[in-house]
Amino acid sequence: MKKVLVTGALGQIGSELVMEMRGIYGEENIIATDIRDNGSKVVTSGPFELLDVTDGERMHDLAKKHQVDTIIHLAALLSATAEQKPLLAWNLNMGGLVNALEIARQLNLQFFTPSSIGAFGPSTPKDQTPQDTIQRPTTMYGVNKVSGELLSDYYFHKFNVDTRGLRFPGLISYETLPGGGTTDYAVDIYYQAVMKGHYESFIDRGTFMDMMYMPDAVKSIIDLMEADSSKLIHRNAFNVSAMSVSPEMIGQSIQRFIPDFTLRYKVDPVRQQIAESWPNAIDASAAKQEWGFRAKYDLEAMTEDMLQKLKVKLIS
């Protein structure tokens, strides 16, 4: 990876990945693209281009113009939004992906796109979910993610494109809010804890899902992309996770720092159903073995850092 085009660069992952990569690879070498310009530091600290990922011609032109050797394709709708607008999700998530893969094939680029715990479904083993297992998701987002994993495998086997991917759990961060995801509660809870000392969770007590703190997610993308290709048995996509948690576990963790914090529940049936169709805890041993994945932040370390950063961001 020397020169990288990132799609969806103003999203939850992109906004932190771009800044980290600009620090490592040089500001000029990370080309951020998004459908909108929000004037943020991602836009102002290095090359930025407007790009609708369903416009394959423009994506191709930008990749050529900037002479990139890698595409990191992040632009996508998340699970709850995709459930509200399934056809839009198919067109955007799959249309954008196939455009990005085609350009990687035509210009001989390395390629990354995230998959998700959403690629699993109700018939998948719920605990210690293996790397290779049943994948019959019941959401449009999950259908997109499984299709994306298969398509990325196809481009590797058929065209020798160096495709790589991770099955991300819920990602928790203080920089940019996620939007329209099922795991978003685990971000909202920290914001509300700092702003109001109270949170009403749309995911029910006792519902376990995998989570990871954004610094670990960003590092895992870079580490996977820099890993020796010959060591990778699973390319698309590796299970990665740092913790398996329920809302009340995050609530208790927050109470260690904000003792008066209170948590109540107002369950959203749509997102609860999605959450229940996903694993409780996935097994990340293939990622550990094949390219040395390791998460630095557990729940306590993440809570401490999140609350500290959000106090600065929201209060001072």
Q: What is the identity of the amino acid at 134? A: I
Minimum CB distance to ligand SER, residue 214 (Å)? 12
Shortest approach of ligand SER to residue 57 CB, angstroms? Answer: 29
Cis-peptide, bond into residue 237, ω within 30° of zero = yes
Q: Which is nearer to ligand SER, 162 or 184 (CB)?
A: 184
104 vs 117 by CB, closer to ligand SER: 117
Vertex 295 angle, CA 180 and 34, to 5°:
40
Residue 155 known to be catalytic: no
Q: For the beta carbon of residue 229, count every other beta carbon within 10 angstroms.
A: 10
Torsion of CA 184, 307, 200, 204, to 10 degrees: 60
In 99-134, which positions are buried (b, 16+ CB within 10 angstroms) versus exposed (e)?
bbbbbbbebebbbbbbbbbbbbbeebebeebebeee
Region of 267 please: left (phi>0), alpha (psi -120 to 50) or beta.
beta
CB of 70 to ligand SER, least distance (A): 22
Q: Which residues pair with 167 in a beta bridge?
A: 115, 239
Phi/psi at 193 (nearest 5 deg)?
Answer: -60, -45
Q: Which residue among 141, 155, 174, 185 is the active-site one?
A: 141
Smallest separation, CB 195 to ligand SER (Å): 22
Largest Cα–Cα separation, the chain: 57
Contacts with ligand SER by CB under 6 A lie at 78-79, 116-118, 141, 168, 170, 181-183
Q: What's the full length of the chain, in residues?
A: 316
Residue with smaller CB distance to ligand SER, 79 or 244:
79
Closest of 245, 221, 246, 241 to residue 283, by C-alpha:
241
Whose Cβ is closer to ligand SER: residue 29's or residue 182's? 182
- Name the closest residue to ligand SER (Cβ): 181
Q: Which is nearer to ligand SER, 63 or 143 (CB)?
A: 143
Least distance to ligand SER, CB of residue 268, Å:
12
Q: Which is nearer to ligand SER, 125 or 180 (CB)?
A: 180
Q: Which of 116, 59, 62, 123 is nearest to 89 (CA)?
A: 116
What is the smallest separation between the CB atom of 169 and ligand SER, expressed in angstroms?
7
The catalytic residue positions are 141
